[in-house]
Amino acid sequence: MSVPPIVPDANKATKAPTMKTDSPKGDNHPKSQTSRRVEPSAHFRAKARIKSHDEYLRLYNESLESPETFWKSQTRDLVFRTPSRKFLEWDSPHAKFFVGATLNITESCLDRHLATEARNRAAIVWEGEPGDVRTLTYLELHHEVVKLTAALADLGVAAGDRVAIYMGMVPEAAIAMLACARLGAPHSVIFGGFSADALRDRINDCEAKVLITQDGAYRRGAIVPLKKMADAALLETPSVQHAVVLSRIGRSGSEVSPAEMKPGRDIWWHELLSREPSLANKEMADAPNAFDAEHPLFILYTSGSTGKPKGVLHTTAGYLAGVHVSTNAVFDIRDSDLYWCTADVGWVTGHSYIVYGPMSVGASCMMYEGAPNFPDPGRFWQIIERHGVTILYTAPTAIRAFIRWGDEFPKRHNLGSLRLLGSVGEPINPEVWQWYHRVIGASQCPVVDTWWQTETGSIMLTTLPAASGSKPGSTGLPMFGVEPDVVDADGRSVKAGEGGRLIIKHPWPSMARTLWGDDERFRQTYFNVVPNVYFTGDGAKRDEDGYYWVTGRIDDVLNIAGHRIGTAEVESAFVSHPAIAEAAAVGRPDELKGSALVVFVTLKQGAAPSGQLRDELKAHIEKEIGKFARPDEIRFAEGLPKTRSGKIMRRLLKEIAAGATAMKGDTSTLEDFSVVAQLQAAQEP
Ligand code: WT7
């Protein structure tokens, strides 16, 4: 069978109208640059699973023409209890994949490896920031997950109940996720960089029954007091009955654990696991239940265009299929590899490419707790040398920081074990790509740039490392089963080389199923720009060779140092401060972070601009959202430029933030011109 097109005529447009001014410019990549390809070495190619562009094309075409056959053969290693009756049911915007199948996802990620050589292979090689190392084999990981599954069930967690996870980068974060999945309890991991308020809001939105956290996490030599922040959040989370607390600080250091335990609510992880579980729960954990293919696996909050974060819901079988197939194709992991994705488990990259994808293929995964520049900027390279990492998957913002810190740090270490490099999270500019390729990969390792999103679940655009050759700065070609397009404001395909909106025309197995508790917002956000077609929120162009060049967000979402931040979220946090009347958040190009966060504010009567207020506002954002959302610049203004209908003119503010002196574009709809001059003059004191 084949996937029914969402809009059969979306691709039929022949004449491309000119782009509207708010769309991304497609002219920032000159032709000479878009045609240059870097081909993998013959040596790399010889050992790869997918060895040529033709082989990629054959599989890609099969994935579109006979998806059922394609996905069946590519997921044959996965464990299903009941096979599916049907590949897809699509009732826009709702997709069901592998209809009728039942499975327990952890059997694919853990149990199946116990019958193979993977049994005693390292599943996780973990290094703490202080330098402590722990290795968990698949057998040991399975054992820990089974124990926690039974213990959570004893605490009253049942299939369908939500569990919040607020942890740092410790193996137990992966154990907690897998135990929830084994139990059928959707997890919601909240990044450890979020503040107590942000944690509280996310817990309340998904009404989590249990919170799993830790006393503290090591970061840049200091301790992030996770339990203390969790305690503040838990003052206002009526759904939470228990907090399970891992002792990370208390155990590894000589210090006394800083966490205060609330009797009846809080329990130490190690104490919980030392209890003998009930027989029924022990049996359930050993031989877990199978769940429907569409059983909710996790909710992951991400930023959108309103102040309220979106709870992206992923379900079981389609998500597993997506991350499994892409992990095999993109990273081509072998038994001898040590694969390292440097993302945090609190973001989707950590879910898909630290936990579910790699474990579904039995990979050995490196995991590191701390900062890349602790105790010095050579830490990543030291880890690669120490453990023999072979595949590195990291973000452009990190690579740019490495470039700034200087080549001497990577040069001090033997990086000869590396054979493949990956990039994710934001566009990687060609110069940064070249540095990564040359300095980290010794010009020997293919670099795969992977474009995808929290909502897509798995990698959507990339060049398979031995198949098609990379074009530095381009995110490459569509992954299996993915049919993207670039369209204008009316939903018509634009010509090669022209900029437009990046859409995906057909449903794919790992796509988000809805937004938790807000299905209407799901439809409005993603399936409305072009009716019934998935809109990514990104601008892109496609070149003559079919390679995609993603230019960045064209909605109200910013990408600051690889972190996704909603402008509305920042603005509503600002106006919750008593001194602020109005706020407008925009991005400004930044060499290191990609975008820096600039916020224009007007003050209420009685408040006056000052350095002190500016510091206070930065601290306020840190409390409302988290440290990573601290604005780089706050600019006080007497009024914000608005259209006659009252819309803030963001495009103008962006130009002002970027330091433009003469206004580009049309300003005739400005309500008050004097405001523009005033804003340009409003500099940091
Ligand atoms: C947004 C999604 C995908 C996991 C990490 C971020 C941007 C992501 C790339 C890339 C250009 C990229 C897009 C996208 N993005 N990867 N390779 N090239 N842009 O997940 O927080 O959901 O953010 O990140 O703008 O829409 P996320």
pLDDT at 659 over 90: no
Strand, helix or coil for residue 516: coil
Give the end of a domain, one of 281, 310, 339. Answer: 310
Same domain, yes or no: 255 and 329? no
pLDDT at 224 over 80: yes
Amino acid residing at 153: A
How would residue 304 be classed by pLDDT, with cut points 50, 70 and 90? confident
Q: What is the pLDDT of residue 20?
A: 31
CATH of the domain at 303: 3.40.50.980
- Please tell me which residue, 642 or 402, carries the higher pLDDT value: 402
pLDDT at 7 over 50: no
Residue located via tokens 């939105």: 205
Amino acid residing at 474: S
Give the end of a domain, one of 531, 552, 573. Answer: 552
Rounded Cα gap, residues 617 and 573, in angstroms: 10
User: Percent of the chain beyond pLDDT 70?
Assistant: 90
How would residue 27 be classed by pLDDT, with cut points 50, 70 and 90? very low
Q: What is the pLDDT of residue 31?
A: 60
Same domain, yes or no: 545 and 639? no
Tell me whether residue 238 is exposed, middle or buried, using C-beta atoms within 10 angstroms of its C-beta: 0 to 12, 13 to 18, 19 or more. exposed
Strand 391-394 to 420-424 pairing:
parallel
Stretch 591-608: mean pLDDT: 91
In a domain, 158, yes or no: yes
Q: What is the pLDDT of residue 529?
A: 83
Q: State whether the beta carbon of 253 lies less than 6 angstroms from ligand 1.
A: no
Q: Give the number of other Cβ atoms within 10 Å of residue 148's Cβ.
A: 24
Q: What is the pLDDT of residue 666?
A: 53
User: Length of the chain in residues, anyone?
Assistant: 685
Amino acid residing at 296: P
Best of 541, 550, 555 for a ligand 1 pocket test (most atoms within 8 Å of beta carbon) = 550
Rounded Cα gap, residues 396 and 506, in angstroms: 29
Give the residue, by CA position, lying nearest to ligand 1 atom 18.
427
In a domain, 541, yes or no: yes
Q: For residue 379, what are the contacts with CB-CB under 8 A and spacing of at least 6?
A: 370, 371, 372, 373
pLDDT at 630 over 60: yes
Rounded Cα gap, residues 507 and 246, in angstroms: 39
Full DSSP string of 447-506: EEEEB--TTT-S--EE--TTTS-B-TT--BEEPTT--EEEE-TTSPBPPTT-EEEEEE-S
Q: How far is CA 16 from the centre of its chain?
A: 33
Residue located via tokens 């003469």: 662
Tell me whether residue 169 is exposed, middle or buried, using C-beta atoms within 10 angstroms of its C-beta: 0 to 12, 13 to 18, 19 or more. buried
Q: State whether the beta carbon of 394 lies less than 6 angstroms from ligand 1.
A: no
Same domain, yes or no: 495 and 542? yes
User: Ligand 1 mean position to 462 CA, how many Å?
Assistant: 12
Largest CA distance in the chain: 74
Which residues are registered as beta bridge partners of 563? Answer: 560
How would residue 672 be classed by pLDDT, with cut points 50, 70 and 90? low
In a domain, 149, yes or no: no
List, for residues 141-153, the tens digit of each pLDDT value.
999 999 999 999 9
Best of 28, 451, 461, 567 for a ligand 1 pocket test (most atoms within 8 Å of beta carbon) = 451
Q: What is the pLDDT of residue 650?
A: 85
User: Ligand 1 mean position to 394 CA, how many Å?
Assistant: 12
Q: What is the pLDDT of residue 360?
A: 98
Stretch 7-16: mean pLDDT: 34
Rounded Cα gap, residues 397 and 394, in angstroms: 9
- Least Cα distance to 453 among 484, 478, 424 occurs for 424
Which residues are registered as beta bridge partners of 38? Answer: 470
In a domain, 121, yes or no: no
CATH of the domain at 586: 3.30.300.30
Same domain, yes or no: 166 and 279? yes
Q: State whether the beta carbon of 449 lies less than 6 angstroms from ligand 1.
A: yes
In a domain, 620, yes or no: yes
Full DSSP string of 105-134: HHHHHTGGGGGSGGGGSEEEEEE-TTS-EE
Q: State whether the beta carbon of 463 lies less than 6 angstroms from ligand 1.
A: no
Give the residue, by CA position, lying nearest to ligand 1 atom 20.
453
Predicted TM-score (pTM) of this structure: 0.90
- Pull the structure tokens for residue 177: 């996720």
Cis peptide upstream of residue 446 (ω within 30 degrees of 0): no
Cis peptide upstream of residue 631 (ω within 30 degrees of 0): no
Q: What is the pLDDT of residue 472?
A: 96
Tell me whether residue 596 is exposed, middle or buried, using C-beta atoms within 10 angstroms of its C-beta: 0 to 12, 13 to 18, 19 or more. buried
List, for residues 66-88, the tens digit of each pLDDT value.
999 999 999 999 999 999 999 99
* Average pLDDT over all residues of the chain: 91
Best of 194, 305, 314, 424 for a ligand 1 pocket test (most atoms within 8 Å of beta carbon) = 424
pLDDT at 188 over 50: yes
Same domain, yes or no: 539 and 650? no
Q: Which of 4-8, 169-173, 286-290 has the lowest mean pLDDT?
A: 4-8
- Least Cα distance to 513 among 457, 566, 460 occurs for 457
Same domain, yes or no: 584 and 621? yes
Contact by Cβ (8 Å): 533, 506: no
pLDDT at 230 over 80: yes
Residue located via tokens 């031989």: 287
Q: Which atom of ligand 1 is nearest to the CA of 537?
A: 26
Q: What is the pLDDT of residue 18?
A: 31
CATH of the domain at 432: 3.40.50.12780
Same domain, yes or no: 489 and 567? no
Q: What is the pLDDT of residue 466?
A: 96
Q: State whether the beta carbon of 553 lies less than 6 angstroms from ligand 1.
A: yes
Amino acid residing at 558: L
- Least Cα distance to 25 among 651, 669, 657 occurs for 651
How would residue 259 be classed by pLDDT, with cut points 50, 70 and 90? confident
Best of 345, 453, 462 for a ligand 1 pocket test (most atoms within 8 Å of beta carbon) = 453
Q: What is the pLDDT of residue 313?
A: 98
Q: Which of 18-22, 501-505, 526-530 has the lowest mean pLDDT?
A: 18-22
Q: Would you give the DSSP letter of residue 353?
A: I
- Least Cα distance to 198 among 457, 514, 566, 525 occurs for 566
pLDDT at 305 over 90: no
Rounded Cα gap, residues 435 and 672, in angstroms: 46
Same domain, yes or no: 322 and 305? no
Same domain, yes or no: 501 and 645? no
pLDDT at 683 over 80: no
Give the residue, by CA position, lying nearest to ligand 1 atom 2.
453
Rounded Cα gap, residues 460 and 424, in angstroms: 11
How would residue 11 be classed by pLDDT, with cut points 50, 70 and 90? very low
How would residue 109 be classed by pLDDT, with cut points 50, 70 and 90? very high
Q: What is the pLDDT of residue 21?
A: 30
Strand, helix or coil for residue 307: coil
Q: State whether the beta carbon of 107 lies less than 6 angstroms from ligand 1.
A: no
Same domain, yes or no: 361 and 305? no
Rounded Cα gap, residues 609 and 241, in angstroms: 44
Q: Which atom of ligand 1 is nearest to the CA of 454?
A: 22
Rounded Cα gap, residues 376 and 220, in angstroms: 10
**How many domains, the chain?**
3
Strand, helix or coil for residue 674: helix
pLDDT at 684 over 70: no
User: What radius of gyration, in Å, describes the C-alpha atoms of the chain?
Assistant: 25
Same domain, yes or no: 100 and 233? no
Scored b (16 or more CB within 10 A) or e, 533-545 reads bbbbbbbbbbbee
- The domain of 341 spans 10-104+313-552
Give the residue, by CA position, lying nearest to ligand 1 atom 24.
425
- Pull the structure tokens for residue 219: 């970061």
Q: State whether the beta carbon of 344 lies less than 6 angstroms from ligand 1.
A: no
In a domain, 125, yes or no: no
Residue located via tokens 């679940």: 457
Contact by Cβ (8 Å): 196, 232: yes
pLDDT at 23 over 60: no
In a domain, 116, yes or no: no
- Please tell me which residue, 145 or 42, carries the higher pLDDT value: 145
List, for residues 559-571, the tens digit of each pLDDT value.
998 899 999 889 9
Q: What is the pLDDT of residue 251?
A: 54
Rounded Cα gap, residues 580 and 636, in angstroms: 10
How would residue 253 be classed by pLDDT, with cut points 50, 70 and 90? very low
Give the end of a domain, one of 527, 552, 577. Answer: 552
Same domain, yes or no: 401 and 421? yes
List, for residues 336-380, the tens digit of each pLDDT value.
999 999 999 999 999 999 999 999 999 999 999 999 999 999 999
Task: Spell out where 543-639 has E strands.
Answer: 548-553, 557-560, 563-566, 580-590, 594-603, 633-637
- Pull the structure tokens for residue 110: 């853990």
Q: What is the pLDDT of residue 17?
A: 31
Q: State whether the beta carbon of 451 lies less than 6 angstroms from ligand 1.
A: yes
Q: What is the pLDDT of residue 260?
A: 87
In a domain, 651, yes or no: yes
Handedness of CA 477, 483, 489, 495 (dihedral sign): positive
- Least Cα distance to 339 among 124, 41, 74, 111 occurs for 124
